[in-house]
């Protein structure tokens, strides 16, 4: 049995904890608020801000974990090097977490060091720099915080009159203490995919069947597997994913995002060194192992002989229309359960408008129509009301 300190205890952390419990591991779930989803299923929990380096040190000193698994961006990531030097395993590695928690570091590595095809980009620490960069790139362009999650602070700027709002919104959505934005060329893509990539301690890099997804405001609304992608584009994406994960080092599951253009091919977009929200579609038993089981097995060094597509699948999120500090309630579950589907309510103790509160996942045999399955899943998710 390994003792795992989980940094971040949202819905992804909850599913990872469940996977760990099934293999007899001991999990300490950490987050900045009590009652977080993973805390509800973990062996122990701690409440503190992971941007507080001293509090993070105290948690490590108290629990003496064998493994630290970061599941969020807002962590005092430089401390992870110190823990790693003391013999604590960081998943996938301290280097990987430090690079990928900051868009600047990972984008520069991908574009400048590895030569991956990316959107044209600049950085801005002042509004004047933002204006200059936008003029250089042209409109529309995309403005994002260097550190954020779930699309927070991200906007598409269509004209100079929208820059001020993008500047203020970007800074407001930034996680941690970094006050810097990235300005990107707007790629006119045909679709976007997540390629879940598994690096192993003693084995080859493996790839899950590609996952398509639809986002709104930078946050995922639905995902489906397998996404349609030309064989040559899939080969290109897998090559890029293997290059960047090898450069970052470590064992674990990575969510590597790409833009697909029929005319221009594959563009590297972003990377997360952990299970990805769009990968919740794998909870529909689309594969022989879901993404959380894969992350855990890679972390523990257990061999993963293969990843097999078993069924087609789709997921659709359940969003909150309200903001409240009271424990949310749900109605409409019986309508969703009348048909062949699985529903996961995350157990978040409070709500805010458009917060992700649950997900509906559906599967079907490989020879059935994926578009029909997507429509069914979205319909079933729409029956659930948060109040």
Print pLDDT tens along the chain (387 aa).
999 999 999 999 999 999 999 999 999 999 999 999 999 999 999 999 999 999 999 999 999 999 999 998 878 889 999 999 999 999 999 999 998 877 788 889 999 999 999 999 999 999 999 999 999 999 999 999 987 665 678 899 999 999 999 999 999 887 666 789 999 999 888 899 999 999 999 999 999 999 999 988 768 899 999 999 999 999 999 999 999 999 999 999 999 999 998 888 999 998 999 999 999 999 999 999 999 999 999 999 999 999 999 999 999 999 999 999 999 999 999 999 999 999 999 999 999 999 999 999 999 999 999 999 999 999 999 999 999
Same domain, 310 and 206: yes
In a domain, 104, yes or no: no
In a domain, 14, yes or no: yes
Instruction: Name the residue among 83, 73, 17, 84 with its Cα closest to residue 45.
Output: 17
- CA 40 centroid distance within chain: 21
Same domain, 49 and 131: no
In a domain, 108, yes or no: no
Q: 127 — phi, psi (to 5°)?
A: -65, -35
**Residue 257 contacts by C-beta under 8 Å, 6 or more apart in sequence?**
192, 193, 194, 195, 268, 269, 270, 271, 276
**Total domains in the fold of the chain:** 3
Same domain, 262 and 163: no
Alpha helices in the chain (DSSP H): 11-22, 53-63, 78-85, 94-100, 103-108, 127-137, 163-172, 231-248, 291-300, 333-337, 370-382
The residue among 68, 90, 112 that closes a domain is 90
Is 64 strand, coil or helix? coil
- Do the Cβ atoms of 300 and 23 come closer than 8 Å? yes
Q: How many CB atoms are closer than 10 A to CB 189?
A: 17
In a domain, 205, yes or no: yes
The residue among 140, 158, 185 that closes a domain is 185
In a domain, 102, yes or no: no
The residue among 90, 109, 136 that closes a domain is 90
In a domain, 333, yes or no: yes
Q: What's the DSSP call for residue 66?
A: S
Q: How many CB atoms are closer than 10 A to CB 383?
A: 19
Same domain, 367 and 265: yes
Same domain, 208 and 297: yes
Residue 121 pairs in a beta bridge with 184
Same domain, 176 and 202: no
Q: What's the DSSP call for residue 75?
A: S
78 φ/ψ sector (left φ>0, alpha ψ -120 to 50, else beta): alpha
Same domain, 277 and 360: yes
- What CATH number is given to the structural domain containing 316? 3.30.470.20
Q: What is the number of alpha carbons within 13 Å of residue 358 lying toward its C-beta?
A: 27
- Do the Cβ atoms of 251 and 203 come closer than 8 Å? no
Same domain, 348 and 209: yes
Residue 28 pairs in a beta bridge with 5, 44
Same domain, 246 and 341: yes
List the domain range (segments joined by +) for residue 36.
Answer: 3-90
Residue 318 pairs in a beta bridge with 358
Identify the pLDDT of residue 176: 62
**DSSP assignment string, 296-348:** HHHHHT-------B-SEEEEEEEE-SS-BSSPP-EE-HHHHHTSS-EEEE---
Same domain, 212 and 141: no
As annotated, the active-site residues are 149, 151, 257, 270, 277-278, 356
Instruction: Extract the tokens encoding 241.
Output: 């994913």
Identify the pLDDT of residue 74: 79
pTM of the complete model: 0.91
Q: 71 — phi, psi (to 5°)?
A: -125, 0
Identify the pLDDT of residue 215: 87
Same domain, 217 and 295: yes
- 11-30 burial: b if 16+ Cβ within 10 Å, else e: bbbbbbbbbbeeeebbbbbb
**DSSP assignment string, 78-116:** HHHHHHHHTT-EESS-HHHHHHHTSHHHHHHIIIIIS--
């Amino acid at each position: 049995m390994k003792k795992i300190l989980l940094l971040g205890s949202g819905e992804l952390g909850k599913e990872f904890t469940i996977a760990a419990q099934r293999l007899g591991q001991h999990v300490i779930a950490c987050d900045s608020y009590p009652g977080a989803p993973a805390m509800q299923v973990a062996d122990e929990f701690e409440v503190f801000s992971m941007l507080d380096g001293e509090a993070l040190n105290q948690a490590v000193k108290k629990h003496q974990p064998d493994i630290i698994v970061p599941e969020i961006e807002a962590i005092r990531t430089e401390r992870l090097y110190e823990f790693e030097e003391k013999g604590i395993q960081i998943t996938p590695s301290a280097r990987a977490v430090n690079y990928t928690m900051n868009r600047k570091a990972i984008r520069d590595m991908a574009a400048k060091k590895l030569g991956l095809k990316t959107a044209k980009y600049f950085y801005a620490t002042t509004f004047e720099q933002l204006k200059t960069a936008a003029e250089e790139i042209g409109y529309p362009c995309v403005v994002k915080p260097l550190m954020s999650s779930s699309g927070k602070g991200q906007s598409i700027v269509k004209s100079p009159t929208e820059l001020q709002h993008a500047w203020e919104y970007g800074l407001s959505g930034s996680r941690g203490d970094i006050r810097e934005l990235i300005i990107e060329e707007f790629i006119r893509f045909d679709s976007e995919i997540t390629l879940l990539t598994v690096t192993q301690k003693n084995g080859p890099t493996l790839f899950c069947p590609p996952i398509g997804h639809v986002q709104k405001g930078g946050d995922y609304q639905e995902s489906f597997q397998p996404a349609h992608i030309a064989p040559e584009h899939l080969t290109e994406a897998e090559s890029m994913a293997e290059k960047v994960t090898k450069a970052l080092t470590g064992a674990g599951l990575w969510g590597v995002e790409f833009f697909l253009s029929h005319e221009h091919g594959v563009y590297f977009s972003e990377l997360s060194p952990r299970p990805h929200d769009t990968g919740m579609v794998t909870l529909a038993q689309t594969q022989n192992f879901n993404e959380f089981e894969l992350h855990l097995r890679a972390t523990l060094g257990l061999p993963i002989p293969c990843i097999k597509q078993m069924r087609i699948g789709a997921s659709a999120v359940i969003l909150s229309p309200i903001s409240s500090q009271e424990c949310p309630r749900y109605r409409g579950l019986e309508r969703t359960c009348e048909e062949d589907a699985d529903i996961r309510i995350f157990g978040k103790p409070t709500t805010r408008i458009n917060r992700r509160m649950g997900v509906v996942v559906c599967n079907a045999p490989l020879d059935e129509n994926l578009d029909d399955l997507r429509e069914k899943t979205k319909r079933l998710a729409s029956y659930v009301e948060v109040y």
